[in-house]
A and B are shown apart, each in its own frame.
Chain A
Amino acid sequence: MATEVEETIKRIQAHKGVMGVVIVNHEGIPIKSSLDNATSVLYSGLISQLTEKARNVVREMDSTNELTFLRLRSRRHEILIAPDREFILIVIQNTSD
């Protein structure tokens, strides 16, 4: 089971343009990260707050709706955020070709 997860993460990382993968739990701890600790901690803190906010937005607009995916596009790269009940999967991808 755990190895499958490892392989999945490695597969995502192998995609073209992917700069890093971070998995954050609901307390804000980066469980698994391909970046250095300081960056992971930064990402986990900021993005878990953003995800919470985004989740609230979707919920308040329509109480039957829920957040499935969040894409944050900036000039240098794109941050893809997949939230779950307890964990958040974050992928940073380089978009400019």
Chain B
Amino acid sequence: MPSYIKSVYEYTKLRRNFGRQPLFQDVSAQMIDSINPNIAYQKDYILRNPVNREVQATLPQSQNEINTKTLVIREQGINHTEGGWPREVHLYNEEHLIRHRRRVMHEDNYIHAIKKLAPMMEHYVDQNNAINIYETYFDDMQSQVAVEKYNVRVANVFRDSYKRPISCLSWTNEKIPKLAVSYSDKTCTLNSEIYRNNDCYLWDICKQTEPFSKLQPDGPCWQLACSPIHPELLIGGLANGVVNVFDIRESANAISRSTIYNSHRGPITALLFTHSRTNTEFFTGSPDGQCLWWDFRNLSKPLDHLPMSVKIPVGQEPNLSNAEGVSSLEFDHALPTKFLCGTESGLVINVNRMGRSHSEILTSYWNTHSGPVRAVHRSPCTIRMFLTCGDWTVRVWSEEVRTAPIIVTKPYNNQVTDASWTPLRFSSYMAICEGGNFYYWDFLRKYREPVATLKVSKYQLTRLTCHSEGKSVAIGDINGSVFLVQLSENMVIPGNHDKQLMSQTYERETRREHILDARLKEIRLKIRAEEETPTTMTMPDESSNEENLIQITEQQYFKIVKDELHQLVTKTTPSNESISQF
């Protein structure tokens, strides 16, 4: 065991020398030890060059984590069942509630309020007990079935073997009437094979297999009319404008004819007998624009002619160049010197034969349709009312109102080809359309739609004539068939107050149109007046008006304030008394 050197130095120090301040002395240097460099060791070392040193230049930073206390959130609904109690009163304490209630009941306010409200309440309670005002009345009543039944049925059909379209139908004026039918195609003017046969038939309505007799006009017959007194005489208007007179006792051919030079220049579209002493006169209309009057005893030339020109340009005379083509005529024996004329351009002209100048003769006109007026017919009940049919509608007009029809019905699905009033029943009229339907309208029963419809044929219907007794209606179509339609009793005979009601309807509608017209005129006048007066003139007027207005309102205001003050003063005295009572 090697002994080691004790690295201990012992010294002794007297106790009285402790704690003294050290006294340093300046002593010269003493060499204690010296170690010489050892060259052998030196060889083990070299100089380090370069020396790598790392330095970091950063901001002094420190990281610290903290956390707040978590917030607990909860959603909750509140159901307010009872509340409003004052704070002292606890809801579950019966005593408190009763006490509070008693306290309120003794208040003045409470007593006063209840006393005031009670009589009113009693009144309504009694009222409710007296009668149940909200019950449904007439709950147990059944809706009434319509009393009148409309029955339209096809009684007979008369067919043409050649299937030519029917151009005109007419009833003869005899006891057992026959039906005179003329066939021609109004649209096709070329002489095609089928239409070479121009025969007109006279049918006996009981016998439908073959006609009673035949008439052979010189050309296709467009219009046919039967003489009012002689049932054997018939007048036919042809496609070339010539008039033929037939006597069925004599022969099938025409017994007299008018010359082509004196007749119309176009086909005859309307032919009617007029009023004359001898009942031999008739008049015709044609698209050439004139109406000619004839006496059938002497057809060499017409008695009178009238060019139907209403829109005459300035400086011209009325002649055929500015005339309107005639498409239908209407004559009523009640007005012997007047008649209505429907034109190809959609006008209806009111003609007075007794006028002296041309403008007096053609007194007025209406713009009725956008297309030729296919029928014009006056009402047998109110002479001043007439219906027109054309394009897709049937319209009822009044002679007094120029601007608009008085009754307009919904447009039909097809074009309306003919319409007429029923002869005996004041409120009804009939119409036929290209769809093959027959419509029977009654204004007093149903205003907006026909009362009865019947699909008569699947072809277009062309003409309609009603027998003067009203029970039978003859309808023709383009396939050559004539349908004899029977109407039920209630469609023929008028009701008790029909005439009166219908004339009332007429009056009402005319008045409505008058009012509308007047109002329109008023508005137009106002617009025109406003345009004319210069605007500078109105300025000083307005300012003076405003001043006046201000003064007037001021006066009114002060008056109202004074009144109110006065009332307040008078009110305070009785209310003071009432408070003192309590």
Q: Interface of A with B (CB < 8 Å)?
A: 1-2, 4-5, 8-9, 11-12, 15-18, 23, 25, 27-29, 31-32, 41, 45, 68-69, 71, 73, 78, 80, 82, 84-87, 89, 91, 93, 95-97
Whether A5 contacts B122 in the complex (CB less than 8 A), given A23-B114, A87-B113, comes out as: no
Contact A31 B113 (CB under 8 A): no
* Alpha-carbon distance A12/B111, docked complex (angstroms): 15
Judge whether B85 is part of the interface by a CB distance below 8 angstroms: yes
Contact B132 A95 (CB under 8 A): yes
Contact B106 A27 (CB under 8 A): no
Contact A95 B121 (CB under 8 A): no
* Alpha-carbon distance A5/B108, docked complex (angstroms): 11
* Alpha-carbon distance A93/B126, docked complex (angstroms): 10
Chain A residue nearest to B118 (CB atoms) is A8
Give every chain B residue within 8 A of A87 (Cβ-Cβ). 109-110, 113-114, 117
User: Please, could you name 26 A-B residue pairs with CB atoms under 8 Å apart, sorted by A?
Assistant: A2-B105, A4-B111, A5-B111, A5-B115, A8-B118, A17-B128, A17-B129, A28-B83, A29-B84, A29-B85, A29-B101, A31-B110, A41-B81, A80-B121, A85-B109, A86-B110, A87-B113, A87-B114, A87-B117, A89-B114, A89-B117, A89-B121, A91-B121, A93-B129, A95-B132, A96-B132
Contact B122 A11 (CB under 8 A): yes
Instruction: Name 17 extra pairs, CB < 8 A, besides A11-B118, A17-B129, A89-B117.
Output: A2-B105, A2-B106, A4-B111, A5-B105, A8-B114, A12-B125, A15-B126, A15-B129, A29-B84, A29-B101, A31-B101, A31-B104, A78-B128, A80-B128, A86-B110, A87-B117, A91-B125
Give every chain A residue within 8 A of B110 (Cβ-Cβ). 5, 25, 31, 86-87
Whether A80 contacts B105 in the complex (CB less than 8 A), given A5-B115, A28-B84, comes out as: no
Contact A95 B128 (CB under 8 A): yes
Shortest C-beta distance, B114 to chain A (Å), equals 5
Option from B83, B84, B115, B126 in Cβ contact (under 8 Å) with A8 = B115
Contact B129 A86 (CB under 8 A): no
Chain B residue nearest to A97 (CB atoms) is B132
Q: Which B residues, 119 to 150, have Cβ-Cβ distances below 8 Å to chain A?
A: 120-122, 124-126, 128-129, 132, 134
Whether A12 contacts B121 in the complex (CB less than 8 A), given A73-B134, A89-B114, comes out as: yes
Chain A residue nearest to B134 (CB atoms) is A73
Shortest C-beta distance, A67 to chain B (Å), equals 12
Give every chain A residue within 8 A of B113 (Cβ-Cβ). 84-87, 89
Q: Interface of B with A (CB < 8 Å)?
A: 80-85, 100-101, 104-106, 109-111, 113-118, 120-122, 124-126, 128-129, 132, 134
Shortest C-beta distance, A30 to chain B (Å), equals 9
Shortest C-beta distance, A11 to chain B (Å), equals 7
Contact B125 A93 (CB under 8 A): yes
Option from A28, A31, A93 in Cβ contact (under 8 Å) with B128 = A93
Option from B84, B111, B124, B125 in Cβ contact (under 8 Å) with A1 = B111
Whether A84 contacts B105 in the complex (CB less than 8 A), given A5-B110, A15-B125, A71-B124, comes out as: no
Contact B129 A9 (CB under 8 A): no
* Alpha-carbon distance A78/B84, docked complex (angstroms): 26
Shortest C-beta distance, B102 to chain A (Å), equals 9
* Alpha-carbon distance A15/B127, docked complex (angstroms): 11
Shortest C-beta distance, A2 to chain B (Å), equals 6
Shortest C-beta distance, A33 to chain B (Å), equals 10
Shortest C-beta distance, A69 to chain B (Å), equals 6
* Alpha-carbon distance A84/B120, docked complex (angstroms): 12
* Alpha-carbon distance A69/B122, docked complex (angstroms): 12
Chain A residue nearest to B86 (CB atoms) is A27
Shortest C-beta distance, B117 to chain A (Å), equals 4
Give every chain B residue within 8 A of A31 (Cβ-Cβ). 101, 104-105, 110
Chain B residue nearest to A71 (CB atoms) is B124
Shortest C-beta distance, B457 to chain A (Å), equals 58
